[in-house]
């Protein structure tokens, strides 16, 4: 029985690994980033308007605004599109459409973010530049690309939530003479609300955490934008752009500090999404 | 088929044997079912069922599980339309209109034929909104005071009003199982259907709640035509005027309830009723 | 009444349109990338080394780099993920530990890849002194795909009928004998799909790689060599180059990445179809 004991213990260790990784990430990223935040001051770091690493001025407020704006605008596109498609898949689609759409959505989820960024760079950016005005690298371009990327998350989680609504609700609604759409609108969607919301929250988490696509179409200027056609820099882009030439000192620490802020924001969203899903 | 199409034989009405022949008395039948067959894909769940359901009476459908009684009752309000791959043959006439005619909409039929389910299934809404739902989606009620009055009347008819009048905005899930089932009855009543179908309405209820629901069903037949599916023979004997016995998708016997439970004409019926099988 | 019917029609039309929009987006992205890479993708492109900083020649070393990363990450993540999945489904039961571990895995899945990059840079590259290398990058990817392996292992094990286990126990088998010979054998195809999905993710990942493998274009000679995987190559060509040769090669690389995802998804589907048929 010693063998059984050893196996069970090693399985526990394997199971613990993911938790250990999370702990390590927190420890290492926070240890490298938090001292700088403390030195600069939380207020100055979060709400500082200027990012001038060469003069050791580290304010990430424009990037926080930029990140939130892009996430918001991308959700404006992907939430309606995603929820409607989820309803279609769960309630309306004929078998054949379902068999086409499901793999299509999986494919959409599987395409690497760098490919999305590349297509955005080759198509959207020049299009916006010539038809709507320069520079083309813009919140608009980023929002569209991130919206497409967030779709699979929103669709899959919303569809699961809709399917989890007890069939008896649907039957009861039909039995009093409701049409299918009335049933969907008045009974199914309200009952699936928290699950759908979980999908939206997780989708915005994806948009906030996305790096490659953001970096390739958003222009990466750390300024507060004045129009959707203007460029911005996200928190993720800040880290990715400057890590290559900031190997030492406070500049590198400031990038880790940016990572800390990003990590906290995304973790909060993961927790909210998790709660919502369990709440259903 | 074990017998010729069994029809009412104890009434003073001459029963029609074919769908085409309309006798003088057909007007008193609320629902006339002729040569009804039903398929789930390739599986046949009902075989050539013909039967007449009288207005303002309670008709019980009994039979062993899997006999097709739930399938049958769900045909009467086109509830089976939701399931993909099903097929209906034959006629179901309500007031001499075939509800499976191409130009008849399932939604209209379900407004005329209400349904109460086996397990009480209130919506995750307030007590008031559960009842009001059918009216709201119909778009017929414009004034909110009318809505309130209709909801109140339905709750009174379902003998629930006194228990819930002080907490209409509470969640329906706060009610007991029996109360929830009566709420579902009120929800069916509020749109004033002509027929109400009960699909084993008491199978999840305790005896006290069951007695209340049974009494309610008795009272409702003054206004409505009632069809009830039950696996409980005593219940069928207590509440119904007519009883149909189904087995393996076939209608074995259809008769007045007290005749059926005292001197059934078929040996199988007797075996079933006396508990020799099923 | 009539308006309810018209509403129904309109609503269903909108549902159809949004779903077809998503299909159209997917086809447009893939179509665009593939069309623009016609003429560049051939055996020479795949099997020759890059020249002139990637403006000429092929992408052999990038493909090798990507394959190395896939090999390391799946070799490391698979046993740990499978072990963890086994523990959570077969051993943990209602143990509070299992809730913590599951939450840790979900949390890990939500962490943005750039944070993994920061962690990998600070831990593998700097702290462990592995430098920008295949090993550092492979380990970071292993952390990222671990969650997928755990999740699919859990799901496939849960799908194994309890009767299989009971039959094994009834013959006097120990727990581990039952798990390893009966449960894992039936769950193997499902677990395999998890590993394949992990491969797809590792092949497309860019942000985390950027901070850990460097971007050296030569063929690797050891675990400690820096490489430039395909995804990173695509990014670097896309943002820095206007040379037509470089852009054409970027499209070629993008097409190969999409093709990889396509193969991954197809094989997962094929395996799952056979598997579910066998279980029936």
CA gap A189, A199 in Å, rounded: 13
* β-strand partners of B88: B38
Q: Which chains share 3+ C-beta pairs under 8 angstroms with B?
A: A, C
Residue A19, CA atoms < 13 Å, CB-side half-sphere: 14
**pLDDT at position C98:** 79
Averaged pLDDT in 10-residue chunks for chain C of 280 residues: 81 96 96 92 86 83 94 95 90 79 84 95 93 95 92 90 84 85 88 92 93 87 91 92 86 95 92 73
A40 and A70 inside one domain: no
| Residue A23 counted as domain residue | yes
| Residue A58 counted as domain residue | no
Terminal C-alpha separation, chain B: 19
Distance from CA of C12 to the nearest CA of B (A): 16
Distance from CA of A13 to the nearest CA of C (A): 8
Q: For residue range B148-165, list pLDDT tens digits in order.
A: 999 999 999 999 999 999
C10 contacts: CB under 8 Å, gap ≥ 6: none
- Interface contact C1-B137, CB threshold 8 A: no
Strand-pair category, C56-57 with C50-51: antiparallel
A142 and A172 inside one domain: yes
C244 contacts: CB under 8 Å, gap ≥ 6: none
Q: Which chains share 3+ C-beta pairs under 8 angstroms with C?
A: A, B
Averaged pLDDT in 10-residue chunks for chain B of 278 residues: 43 39 56 92 91 93 88 92 88 90 87 91 93 87 82 93 93 92 93 92 89 92 93 89 92 91 87 72
> What stretches of A120-187 show up as alpha helix (H) in DSSP?
125-131, 139-163, 167-175, 180-183
| Residue C172 counted as domain residue | yes
CA gap C228, C210 in Å, rounded: 9
| Residue A90 counted as domain residue | yes
Mean pLDDT throughout A190-218? 94
Residues of B in contact with A192 (CB under 8 A): none
Under 8 Å CB pairs connecting chains B and C tally to 11
Pair of tokens at residue B25:
């008395």
Q: CB-CB: which of B105, B108, B139 is closest to C3?
A: B139
Q: For residue range A223-257, list pLDDT tens digits in order.
A: 999 899 999 999 999 999 888 776 678 899 999 99
Distance from CA of A151 to the nearest CA of B (A): 28
Residues of chain B with a CB closer than 8 angstroms to some CB in chain A: 77, 79, 82, 84, 106-108, 110-111, 114-115, 117, 119, 121-125, 133-134, 136-138, 184, 187-188, 190-191
Place of tokens 């392996």: C149
Strand-pair category, A57-58 with A51-52: antiparallel
B144 contacts: CB under 8 Å, gap ≥ 6: none
Q: What is the CATH number of the domain that holds B81?
A: 3.40.50.300
Mutate to test the interface with A, among C69, C115, C172, C265 (most CBs of A within 10 A): C115
Q: CB-CB: which of A118, A240, A266 is closest to C110?
A: A266
| Residue C269 counted as domain residue | yes
Total domains in the fold of chain B: 1
| Phi and psi at residue A50, to the nearest 5° | -110, 135
Q: For residue range B165-206, list pLDDT tens digits in order.
A: 999 999 999 999 899 999 999 999 998 999 999 999 998 889
| Residue A56 counted as domain residue | no
* pTM attached to this predicted model: 0.87
**Cβ distance A138 to A231 under 8 Å?**
yes
Element (H, E) at C168: helix C162-170
| Residue C16 counted as domain residue | no
3-state SS of chain B is CCCCCCCCCCCCCCCCCCCCCCCHHHHHEEEEEEEEEEEECCEEEEEEEEEEEECCCEEEEECCCCCCHHHHHHHHCCHHHHCCCEEEEEEEEECCEECCCCCCCHHHHHHHEEEECCCCCCCCCEHHHHHHHHHHHHCCCCCHHHHHHHHHHHHHHCCCHHHHCCCCCCEHHHCCHHHHHHHHHHHHHCCCCCEEEEECCCCCCCHHHHHHHHHHHHHHCCCCEEEEECCCHHHHHHHCCEEEEEECCEEEEEEEHHHHHHCCCCHHHHHHHCCCCC
A126 and A243 inside one domain: yes
Nearest of B72, B55, B40 to residue B193 by alpha carbon: B55
CA gap A138, C121 in Å, rounded: 30
Total domains in the fold of chain A: 2
Q: CB-CB: which of B114, B121, B138 is closest to A169?
A: B121
| Residue C66 counted as domain residue | yes
Distance from CA of C221 to the nearest CA of A (A): 23
- The answer to whether the Cα torsion of A17, A22, A23, A28 is positive or negative is positive
| Residue C30 counted as domain residue | no
| Residue C177 counted as domain residue | yes
| Residue C119 counted as domain residue | yes
- Interface contact A175-B79, CB threshold 8 A: yes
**pLDDT at position B204:** 84
Residues of chain A with a CB closer than 8 angstroms to some CB in chain B: 95, 166, 168-179, 182, 186-187, 190-191
Distance from CA of C61 to the nearest CA of A (A): 19
- Interface contact C204-A3, CB threshold 8 A: no
A115 and A153 inside one domain: yes
A149 and A174 inside one domain: yes
The chain-wide mean pLDDT, for chain A, equals 92
**pLDDT at position B273:** 83
Distance from CA of A227 to the nearest CA of C (A): 24
A219 and A154 inside one domain: yes
Distance from CA of C3 to the nearest CA of B (A): 9
A114 and A20 inside one domain: no
Pair of tokens at residue B109:
């039929």
Say whether the peptide bond before residue A135 is cis (omega within 30 degrees of 0).
Answer: yes
| Phi and psi at residue B127, to the nearest 5° | -55, -50
Place of tokens 């490489």: C227
Q: For residue range C136-189, list pLDDT tens digits in order.
A: 999 999 999 998 899 899 989 988 888 888 888 888 888 888 888 888 888 998
The SS3 call for residue A24 is: helix
- Touching check for C1 and chain B: CB below 8 Å? yes
- Interface contact A240-C207, CB threshold 8 A: yes
Under 8 Å CB pairs connecting chains A and B tally to 67
Nearest of B49, B8, B29, B17 to residue B94 by alpha carbon: B29
A67 and A42 inside one domain: no
| Residue B70 counted as domain residue | yes
Pair of tokens at residue B265:
């004409």
**Complex ipTM > 0.90:** yes
| Residue A256 counted as domain residue | yes
Q: Which of residues 93-152 of A touch C (CB under 8 A)?
A: 93, 97, 100-101, 103-108, 110-119, 121-123, 148, 151
CA gap C53, B195 in Å, rounded: 80
| Residue A244 counted as domain residue | yes
- The answer to whether the Cα torsion of A72, A77, A80, A86 is positive or negative is negative
| Residue A52 counted as domain residue | no
B141 contacts: CB under 8 Å, gap ≥ 6: B135, B147, B150
- The answer to whether the Cα torsion of B50, B56, B57, B61 is positive or negative is positive
Q: CB-CB: which of C103, C176, C235 is closest to A114?
A: C235
Element (H, E) at C126: none
Total domains in the fold of chain C: 1
Other C-beta atoms closer than 10 Å to the C-beta of A171 total 17
**Cβ distance A243 to A150 under 8 Å?**
no
Domain range for A12 is: 2-46
| Residue C233 counted as domain residue | yes
- Interface contact A175-B137, CB threshold 8 A: no
CA gap B121, B119 in Å, rounded: 6
Residues of B in contact with C4 (CB under 8 A): 107, 137-139
- Interface contact C206-A179, CB threshold 8 A: no
**Cβ distance A239 to A259 under 8 Å?**
yes
**Cβ distance C255 to C33 under 8 Å?**
yes
The SS3 call for residue C227 is: coil
Other C-beta atoms closer than 10 Å to the C-beta of B28 total 14
- Interface contact B139-C5, CB threshold 8 A: no
| Residue A137 counted as domain residue | yes
Domain range for C150 is: 37-279
Q: For residue range A144-157, list pLDDT tens digits in order.
A: 999 999 999 999 99
A101 and A26 inside one domain: no
């Amino acid at each position: 029985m010693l063998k059984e004991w050893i196996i069970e213990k090693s399985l526990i260790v394997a199971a613990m690994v993911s938790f250990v990784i999370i702990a390590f990430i927190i420890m290492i990223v926070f240890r490298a980033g938090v001292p700088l935040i403390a030195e600069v001051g939380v207020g100055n770091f979060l709400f500082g308007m200027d990012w001038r690493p060469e003069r050791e001025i580290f304010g990430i407020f424009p990037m926080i605004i930029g990140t939130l704006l892009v996430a918001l605008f991308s959700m404006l596109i992907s939430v309606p599109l995603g929820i409607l498609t989820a309803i279609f898949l769960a309630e309306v689609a004929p078998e054949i459409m379902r068999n086409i759409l499901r793999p299509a959505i999986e494919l959409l989820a599987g395409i690497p973010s760098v490919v999305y960024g590349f297509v955005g760079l080759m198509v959207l950016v020049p299009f916006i530049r010539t038809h709507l005005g320069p520079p083309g690298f813009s919140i608009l371009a980023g929002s569209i690309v991130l919206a497409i990327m967030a779709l699979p998350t929103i669709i899959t989680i919303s569809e699961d939530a809709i399917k989890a609504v007890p069939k008896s609700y649907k039957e009861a609604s039909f039995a009093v003479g409701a049409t299918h759409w009335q049933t969907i609108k008045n009974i199914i969607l309200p009952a699936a609300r928290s699950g759908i919301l979980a999908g939206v929250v997780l989708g915005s988490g994806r948009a906030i955490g996305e790096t490659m696509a953001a970096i390739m179409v958003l222009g990466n200027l750390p300024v507060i934008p004045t129009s959707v056609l203007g460029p911005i820099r996200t928190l993720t882009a800040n880290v990715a752009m400057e890590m290559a030439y900031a190997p030492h000192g406070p500049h590198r620490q400031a990038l880790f500090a940016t990572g800390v802020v990003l990590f906290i924001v995304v973790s909060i969203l993961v927790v909210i999404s998790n709660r919502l899903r369990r709440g259903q | 088929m074990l017998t010729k199409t069994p029809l009412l034989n104890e009434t003073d009405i001459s029963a029609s044997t074919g769908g085409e022949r309309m006798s003088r008395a057909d007007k008193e039948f609320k629902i006339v079912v002729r040569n009804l067959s039903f398929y789930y894909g390739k599986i046949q769940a009902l075989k050539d069922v013909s039967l007449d359901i009288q207005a303002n009476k309670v008709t019980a459908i009994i039979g062993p599980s899997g006999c097709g009684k739930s399938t049958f009752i769900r045909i009467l309000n086109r509830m089976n339309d939701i399931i993909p791959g099903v097929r209906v043959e034959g006629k179901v006439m309500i007031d001499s209109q075939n509800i499976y005619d191409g130009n008849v909409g399932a939604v209209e039929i379900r407004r005329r034929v209400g349904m109460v389910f086996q397990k009480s299934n209130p919506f995750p809404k307030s007590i008031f909104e559960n009842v009001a739902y059918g009216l709201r989606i119909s778009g017929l009620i414009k004034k909110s005071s009318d809505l309130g009055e209709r909801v109140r009347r339905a709750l009174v008819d379902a003998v629930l009003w006194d228990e819930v009048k002080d907490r209409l905005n509470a969640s329906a899930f706060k009610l007991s199982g029996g109360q929830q089932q009566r709420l579902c009855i009120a929800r069916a009543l509020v749109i004033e259907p002509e027929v109400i179908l009960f699909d084993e309405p008491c199978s999840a209820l305790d005896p006290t709640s069951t007695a209340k629901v049974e009494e309610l069903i008795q009272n409702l037949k003054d206004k409505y035509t009632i069809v009830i599916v039950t696996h409980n023979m005593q219940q069928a004997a207590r509440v119904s005027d007519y009883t149909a016995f189904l087995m393996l998708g076939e209608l074995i016997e259809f008769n007045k309830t007290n005749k059926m439970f005292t001197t059934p004409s078929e040996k199988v019926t007797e075996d079933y009723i006396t508990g020799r099988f099923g | 009444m009539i308006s309810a019917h018209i509403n129904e029609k309109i609503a269903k039309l909108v549902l159809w349109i949004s779903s077809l929009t998503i299909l159209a987006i997917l086809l447009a992205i893939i179509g665009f990338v593939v069309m623009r890479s016609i003429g560049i993708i051939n055996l020479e492109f795949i099997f020759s080394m890059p020249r002139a900083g990637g403006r000429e020649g092929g992408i052999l070393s990038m493909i090798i780099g990507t394959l190395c990363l896939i090999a390391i990450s799946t070799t490391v993540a698979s046993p740990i993920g499978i072990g963890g999945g086994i523990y959570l489904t077969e051993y943990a039961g209602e143990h509070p530990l299992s809730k913590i571990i599951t939450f840790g895995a979900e949390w890990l899945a939500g962490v943005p890849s750039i944070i993994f990059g920061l962690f990998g840079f600070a831990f593998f590259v700097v702290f462990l002194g592995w430098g920008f290398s295949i090993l550092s990058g492979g380990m970071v990817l292993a952390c990222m795909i671990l969650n997928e392996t755990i999740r699919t292992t859990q799901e496939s094990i849960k799908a194994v009928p309890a009767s299989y286990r009971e039959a094994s126990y009834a013959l006097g088998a120990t727990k581990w004998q039952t798990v390893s010979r009966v449960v894992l054998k039936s769950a193997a195809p499902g677990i395999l799909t998890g590993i394949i999905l992990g491969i797809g993710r590792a092949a497309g990942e860019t942000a985390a790689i950027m901070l850990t493998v460097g971007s050296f274009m030569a063929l690797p000679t050891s675990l400690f060599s820096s490489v430039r995987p395909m995804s990173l190559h695509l990014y670097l060509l896309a943002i820095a180059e206007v040379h037509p040769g470089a852009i054409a090669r970027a499209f070629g690389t993008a097409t190969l990445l999409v093709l990889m995802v396509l193969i991954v998804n197809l094989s997962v589907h094929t395996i799952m179809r056979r598997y579910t048929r066998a279980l029936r």
